[in-house]
Chains A and B, each alone.
Chain A
Amino acid sequence: MNRVWLQIAELVVAQSDQDEITLQADGMVMMILSISIVAALAIFCTVRILREKSPSEHHHVPLDIDTHDVER
């Protein structure tokens, strides 16, 4: 949890930093790699769920037909 009141008091704008920083090649690689891993996992799960048969398709329950055999 953050002590916002202290952070606000310490807030110093470092505008000069902005001019020095840009997305470097290794930053780009890490960004794309991280997003790809997470997105690939999410897509994999989505595809598996969509491909899965609904329960009614693969659970075959015996038909409950009353033939009245016992009564006779």
Chain B
Amino acid sequence: MTDVSQNAEGHDAPKREHWGSKLGVILAVAGSAVGLGNFLRFPGQAVNNGGGAFMVPYIISFLILGIPICWCEWTMGRLGGRFGQNNGPGVMYSLWRRGPAKAIGAMTLFIPVVVYMYYVFIEAWCLYYAYHFFKGTFAATFASAVEGIDPANQGEVVDAVVGASGAFFGNAVSSEKNGGILSSGSMLWMVLICFVVNFAIIYRGVTRGIETFCKIAMPLLIGCAVIILIRALTLDGISKGLGFMWNPDWAALKNPQVWLAASGQIFFTLSVGFGLILCYSSYLRENDDVVLTSLSASSTNEFCEVVLGGMIVVPTAFLFLGASAASQGTFGLGFVTMPSIMYFMPGGNFFGGMWFGLLFLAAVTSSLSMLQPAIAFLEDGFGLRRSGSVLMLGVITAIGALGPLYYTRKLIGLDHTDFWCNFMMIIAATCQVLLFGWIIGAERGCREMNRGADFNVPRFMPVMIRWITPGFLIVILGSWAYMNAPGYLRGMSPTIQGSQAARSVYAGAIGDHFSDEGLSEEMLGVRVDEIVGASADPESLPGWLEDRRVEADAARTVAEEDASVARSVFILLAIFYLSLLVLSDIACRNRIGKTIAKAEAAGVALGD
């Protein structure tokens, strides 16, 4: 088989890397997709959106959204690889020589790099928790929390354990004050270890680094999860927990938000639009099978999500802690509820350590996939050697990670960065599918998809890719923006946030003062407006409210600071994206453009 990439770059260029085996690429892509979302986000979404009924929109979304987008991305990546490109801007530019291709390509660089900047922090939490479980810190913390409580009073014991777990998490991530992580030390060490581990693996390259690590880590991760699953399913009364998770609420299917939650879950769990599938698949050879490989990676991810993720966390949380604890969001379930469960579970220290160890492995495999696209861009676009590109990316991500690491109060830096990245992911995926369906052409694209495939994609796939999948994505994009963007935009206004914080302090006091009248929420709002005004910054206050002024002003200051941080995050992200866009443009005009031209001269084309 002709090594097109070598043709494209000439004989002086270093030989382009390829995956060593099909199993390697499947485990690497599955590893990139399997993460905290599978074990924590999925069960939380399912239980809050109809339980077993959630699986109806979930599986439909998998079929019409997940699988087609993955096939498109894998095909585009392999095509880009034939033009000698392993980076998002290069892949996009080789498929469409227009300016917007560079903008889409820049998104596929921006998203993984920025997500890495805060994801490494979450990876460090997992390592920190695994370390403290094996060390016995959690057992000691919980024992101290329940000291003096009658064990027969189960409710109080649960409250104490969950409270201690929440406090441990708050201290670990410094959710009460900014800068706590940088001064405390222990979590900072974990972040540094994660950085070193990630970059040491990525430095070894695609085959010797990512592929080798994923071949070890993924079976180990699944093995650990299966052991914990067996432990969970053999607990007395687990059928109650399974019932809480899986009993369907069919009425939920009438709610459009449930359908959006399911399609959003599929979208985020498969890591589509991220740029990493484009990057990983560009290391395939010309006739490597993308249809079966993509489906295998997706099915491995789904296995981890539905079979392992759906059967462990929520059922055990419900069994030991009750409905409220089992209905938490991702971080609540993962870092507050799960450690609490381990207190009640026999062998909890061991299983807790194993659980967070597997989450750490899942996080490392995901982190690697976030770094490789930028490494490939620096190598392909600017001719840097591996060491240079690793060093440069290390410096960039370390500087970027300082933001989420410093602004930890209410995890504001992480929260806002995550929101804008998610938003951009949906835009990037929509653009990629539109490019595949309308610029490359759905029929031509599907013929390219079938090249070297063990079995062909269904005949209706061109129609699906051209109309249904992008239509679905546009609906998700619109709904996501409609539901979330106003809140996040308001969160960037110091005036609005400051007023709201001060009002909530005054509202509490006013509600207490007029408690005899039994004010409704609406009436309380009217009364607050009358007394403190809409801005909650009155010149004079009634005597009984004057002593709350200091508290309200303090709340206002904190909220204004948080809003300023949120605004700065947005501005910095916008500047970073524009910088990447400029770099993509420069690279496409020079080195990437020349490599593509050489590939074309060597006979590489998009196909018939």
Chain A interface residues toward B at CB < 8 A = 1-5, 7-8, 10-15, 17-18, 21-24, 26-31, 33-35, 37-39, 41-42, 44-46, 48-49, 52, 59, 61
Contacts and interface: CB of A to CB of B under 8 A. Distances in A.
Interface string B393-431: 000000000000000001100110011000000000000
B170 A15 contact: no
Contacts of A14: 322-324
A34 B247 contact: no
A40 to B, nearest CB: 9
B307 A35 contact: yes
A71 to B, nearest CB: 24
Interface stretch (B297-305, B341-349, B375-383, B509-517): B297-305
18 contacts: A1-B411, A1-B418, A2-B331, A5-B175, A7-B332, A8-B166, A10-B324, A11-B324, A13-B324, A17-B244, A17-B318, A23-B239, A24-B243, A24-B247, A26-B52, A30-B248, A38-B299, A49-B292
Contact of A31 (B242, B289, B418, B419): B242
Nearest to A28: B246
Given A2-B332, A7-B329, A45-B299, 4 more contacts: A4-B169, A8-B162, A17-B244, A38-B302
B240 A1 contact: no
B331 A4 contact: yes
A35 B244 CA distance: 16
Contacts of A49: 22-23, 26, 292, 296
Contacts of B243: 21-24, 27
A49 B329 CA distance: 37
B322 A4 contact: no
B32 interface: no
Q: Which 10 A-B pairs have the closest CB atoms?
A: A30-B52, A2-B329, A27-B247, A23-B243, A45-B296, A8-B166, A31-B246, A27-B246, A13-B322, A42-B299
A48 to B, nearest CB: 5
Contacts of A1: 329-331, 411, 414-415, 418-419
Interface stretch (B95-103, B141-149, B153-161, B442-450): B153-161
Contact of B154 (A15, A26, A28): A15
Contact of A21 (B55, B244, B248): B244
Contacts of A22: 239-240, 243
A64 to B, nearest CB: 14
